[in-house]
Structures are given as C-alpha cells and as structure tokens.
C-alpha cells in the first residue's frame, strides 16, 4: 500500500486464495480488543481496488533470477477454475455446491466449507476457488452444479482452466511470508488431538469469532456445552529446549486476551499457567493488570501433564492439569477444568528454507529469515534488493509486523527514488588474463554473482550481486580473482605484521 500510494506499481503474490493472512482468522486483537476483521478488511479492500497493485492470489514464486533493479520472477498462478474477469462474486455457486468438507485451513478443522468456496465472507479478491480434490466433477466426471447455476454470462466457471506460468520484471522484492503454528500434537502429554477438549490458540480464536463455526459461542468440542472452567497453558512449543528455544512473543498477550474473552462472554473460571508474564510494549501491561482485576487465576509453573484420569473427588469428567506451583514453594497441584487452551508458539513457515534459497537470502538455524543487521538493519537482507517484513523474520505481534512492513516499503521507495545504487566497497573481480576458465569458482558463490562467458571461456563477477565474502578469491587456483581490501598481498602483509616477534 505504502509503495503503491507513492505511485509505483506493486505485484502482490499470495499463496492462499485470499489475502489477509492469520489476522483474518482472529476475533479480537490485544490489547485494545479491536475487532480484527473491522480493522483488517477495509485495508484488504483498499489493496484489492488499488490501481497500482496487481494482486496475484493462489500464486507462488517458482524462480527468481537477476539482481537488484533487475529481478525476473517466475510465478505459478494455480488454476482457480473460476474466471476472474467474469465472476461477480455473487456466491451462488457456493450455495449450490452439494459437497461439504472440513475447512482445515481457515477454520482450522472446526468448520465446514463447500468444494467451491471463498475462505471467508470478506475475502479479497471476492472470487471463489474450486477445490479440485473434493469436487464431484473432477472426481466422478459429473455434477457441474456451480456451472449450471452461475448467473453470469459468459459463464464464470471454467473446468478446463490450467495453471498459468508467467514472468514479471521487478526492481525490489519484499518477503512477508508469515509463520506456521507449532503443532501441539508434538507435546503428547498435553493431549492435543487425543483429549477432545484441548484446543490450540488458533482454534479458540475461531471459536470466539462471531463469524466462526460456532457464531462466537465458546463451547466444548461437542458444540453445545459451555465450559465452567478453562485452563490456558502458556509457552506451548516455545521457551522449551525440546522444541523451540525462543519466545514466541505474542502468546502471553494472546492468552490474556483469551482469559478476558472467556470471563466476559461466559464468566467461567480461568486459570493461566505461565513461566513468566511477558507484557512488554505499549498498553500491554495495563491490559495484564486489568485481567488480574477481573479475577483470572494465575499459576506460575510449567504444566507437566493434561489428563482425563480422575484420581480425586471433583475430577470426574474433567481435564486435570498437573502443575508445580513455583510461587507456593513448588507444590504439586491438580486443577480440574472443562477446557484447555494451548498457547501454541509460532514457527517459521515449513518451507522457509526453500524460500530463502529461492531468493538467495539466508535463514537462521530455526528457519526465520535473516536480516542484514539485527539492530540497525532489520528489514534488509544480505542480498541487495530483497527485504523482509513481519513474522517471516521472527515472531512478532501485529503492530510490529505493520511497522516492519512500512519500514520495508520506505526502504524500497528510497531505493527507487535514488536511481543510483551505493554498494559496499568490498567486492571481488576477475583478472581476465589470468583466468583459465576452469570454472572451479562458478559453484562456490551463493549469490549467483559469478557468470561464465562460454564464448571467451573466462569468468566474470557481477559487482551488483557480489557481497564480498571472498570465498571465490580463496578458491581460485590461478589467483585470477582478487578482492578489494582483502587481496592475497594485503592479507599476507597483515600476517607478516602479526608474526613479528615482540
């Protein structure tokens, strides 16, 4: 938006059928309890109708070539089986489709959708997408209900549509690929997937969302019973050396928000099990104080187990949370509750390593994309012209993601306005007369800066792509590559200096 508003064309490539990301699934946002859809959907629409933004949904980047100012990006736009230029988004096809399937993407397995569907009512773009795997026509060769009932002329449903592959030319790229949720099944002692009334944080978000599968009713898995007590377990999959060492940043506040929503909507008893309360940032701690005053119970200690095996009176048909209360001198407590919410941590996208590879940037051991400098340059990457924003770089909340997105946009706009590019002075270059064309150096460069000229049988280094690591200089067997500031002579002279006996 920022870039497009400055008058530069933007291509928005989205893997899912609609933009919006995880935020579109949420009910309220902490700490102000704004409705997520109320603040997000108008923005989505603005993006959708912006004349400078070309939105490519159901699309993925296949290949990236070139360098800053001259990227050629190959995009695969997956077949939607709906003609975007004809469809009006009326939704009749969705109504008429006879197939209902569990929506495990948007409603995280709690609700249903049709085989032709829009992920949610305010989806942008408004066109539905046909799910080939579940469609009767694709499975059995007949049905076509959506096509028969489609009121537009010409008909918007196109069963023959194929994936489109095309290339776009761009100068800068911003990666904002977001996060995946930690799979709570990995911690088997918390019983997710085994005990029905253990929910993940995203499931609970959908439960309390007014447009969610239960119309905002907070109920147990049976769909009718309101829980009388709820336990919220913090740091599930975060701050745990068995899973992820890092803090997922948002879960403390998210859990507080859940606690508040449960209190407000159904007045159940709420127990929070935490290691530390991390409520940094503006108005976050005030929200914590508010939830404390609302009478939510806080137990400091890591939960050992969630079980349905009752041992004492009052534990029948409940989920029992076994915890060591570290503020009561390490006393073992068993707290029976009706519902357990796991504040599942954030993880890098499962394919973040491939994405990093594709764009020629690096990612940390965990899989978060690496910024150029952790403090002074958190939006740029080591590859010129590629920027990162949001949770792709590391766990963060909505305000930080928005700020980082705007920062990345500002950097891109600055780049475009500069017209010229200032580069670090440390670069390698090939002395052509010495190059034997052996091509040993060709494979060592991770930035694809080394080009081999077949006609002259010599290698050349593209100074715009070279980052100056010097690996090729060290690799070259004929000393044909030399690096500014770190050439062999300079290094050896330094070495000589170091070897002087004092």
The answer to whether residues 434 and 486 touch, using CB atoms and an 8 Å cutoff, is no
| One of 360, 385, 390, 394 touching another protein (CB under 8 A) | 360
Dihedral sign of CA atoms 381, 383, 387, 390 in order: negative
Q: CA-CA distance, 399 to 81, in Å (whole number)?
A: 36
Alpha helix segments (H runs only) across 268-341: 284-293
Rule CB under 8 A: say whether 495 interacts with another protein. yes
Cβ of residue 350: shortest distance to another protein, in angstroms?
17
Q: Give the closest residue to 254 by CA, choosing from 29, 70, 83.
A: 29
**Closer residue to another protein (CB): 197 or 467:** 467
Exactly one of 124, 262, 469, 480 binds another protein (CB under 8 A); which one? Answer: 469
Q: Tokens 């991770």 appear where?
A: 446
444 binds another protein (CB under 8 A): yes
CA distance 259 to 291: 7
Minimum CB–partner distance for residue 497 and another protein (Å): 9
Query: In this chain, which stretch among 190-198, 329-337, 455-463, 491-499 interacts with another protein, using CB under 8 A?
Result: 491-499
* Smallest distance from another protein to CB 182, Å: 20
Distance CA 427, CA 463 (A): 7
Tokens of 11: 């291509």
488 makes contact with another protein (CB under 8 A): yes
Applying CB under 8 A, among 364, 403, 442, 448 the residue interacting with another protein is: 364
340 lies in the site for another protein, by CB under 8 A: no
| Residue 46 in contact with another protein, rule: CB under 8 A | no
d(CA 157, CA 151): 10
Given candidates 101, 219, 382, 410, which one binds another protein under the rule CB under 8 A? 382
**List of residues 6+ apart from 274 with CB closer than 8 A:** 234, 235, 252, 255, 298, 299, 300
Among 224, 313, 376, 499, binds another protein (CB under 8 A): 499
Handedness of CA 472, 478, 483, 489 (dihedral sign): positive
Q: Binding residue for another protein (CB under 8 A) from 59, 209, 248, 467?
A: 467
Q: What one-character DSSP code corresponds to residue 192? A: B
Only segment of 17-25, 147-155, 431-439, 492-500 that touches another protein (CB under 8 A):
492-500
Q: Which residues bind another protein (CB under 8 A)?
A: 360-362, 364-365, 370, 382, 426, 444, 446-447, 467-471, 473-475, 483, 486, 488, 491-492, 494-496, 498-501
């Amino acid at each position: 938006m920022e870039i497009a508003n400055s008058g530069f064309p933007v291509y928005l490539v989205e893997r899912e059928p609609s933009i919006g990301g995880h935020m579109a699934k949420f009910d309220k946002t902490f700490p102000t309890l704004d409705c997520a859809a109320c603040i997000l959907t108008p923005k989505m629409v603005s993006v959708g109708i912006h004349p400078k933004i070309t939105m490519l949904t159901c699309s993925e980047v296949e290949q990236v070539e070139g360098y800053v100012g001259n990227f050629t990006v190959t995009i695969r736009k997956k077949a939607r089986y709906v003609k975007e230029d004809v469809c009006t988004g009326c939704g009749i096809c969705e109504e008429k489709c006879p197939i209902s399937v569990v929506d495990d993407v948007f409603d995280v397995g709690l609700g249903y959708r049709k085989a032709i569907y829009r992920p949610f009512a305010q989806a942008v773009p408004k066109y539905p997408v046909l799910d080939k795997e579940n469609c009767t026509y694709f499975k059995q060769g007949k049905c076509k209900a959506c096509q028969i009932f489609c009121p537009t002329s010409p008909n918007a449903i196109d069963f023959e549509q194929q994936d489109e592959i095309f290339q776009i030319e761009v100068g800068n790229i911003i990666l904002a690929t977001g996060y995946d949720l930690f799979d709570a099944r990995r911690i088997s002692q918390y019983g997710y997937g085994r005990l029905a009334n253990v929910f993940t944080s995203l499931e609970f978000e959908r439960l309390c969302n007014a447009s969610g599968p239960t119309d905002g009713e907070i109920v147990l898995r049976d769909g009718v019973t309101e829980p009388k007590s709820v336990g919220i377990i913090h740091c599930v999959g975060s701050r745990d050396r068995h899973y992820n060492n890092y803090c997922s940043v948002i879960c403390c506040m998210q859990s507080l928000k859940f606690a508040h929503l449960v209190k407000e909507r159904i007045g159940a008893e709420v127990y929070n099990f935490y290691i530390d309360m991390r409520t940094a940032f503006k108005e976050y701690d005030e929200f914590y104080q508010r939830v404390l005053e609302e009478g939510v119970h806080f137990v400091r200690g890591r939960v050992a187990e969630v079980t349905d095996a009752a041992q004492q009176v009052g534990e029948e048909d409940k989920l029992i949370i076994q915890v060591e209360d570290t503020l009561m001198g390490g006393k073992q407590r068993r707290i029976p509750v009706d519902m357990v919410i796991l504040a599942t941590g954030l993880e890098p996208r499962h394919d973040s390593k491939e994405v990093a590879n594709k764009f020629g940037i690096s990612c940390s051991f965990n899989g978060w994309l690496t910024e150029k400098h952790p403090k002074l340059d958190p939006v740029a990457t080591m590859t010129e012209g590629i920027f990162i924003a949001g949770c792709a770089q590391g766990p963060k909340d909505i305000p930080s993601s928005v700020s980082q997105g705007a920062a990345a946009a500002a950097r891109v706009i600055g780049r475009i306005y500069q017209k010229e590019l200032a580069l670090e002075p440390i670069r390698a270059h090939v002395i052509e007369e010495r190059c034997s064309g052996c091509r040993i150096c060709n494979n060592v460069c991770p930035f694809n800066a080394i080009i081999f000229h077949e006609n002259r049988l010599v290698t050349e280094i593209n100074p715009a792509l070279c980052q100056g690591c010097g690996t090729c200089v060290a690799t070259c067997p004929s000393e044909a590559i030399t690096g500014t500031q770190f050439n062999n002579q300079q290094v050896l002279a330094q070495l000589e200096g170091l070897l002087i006996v004092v």
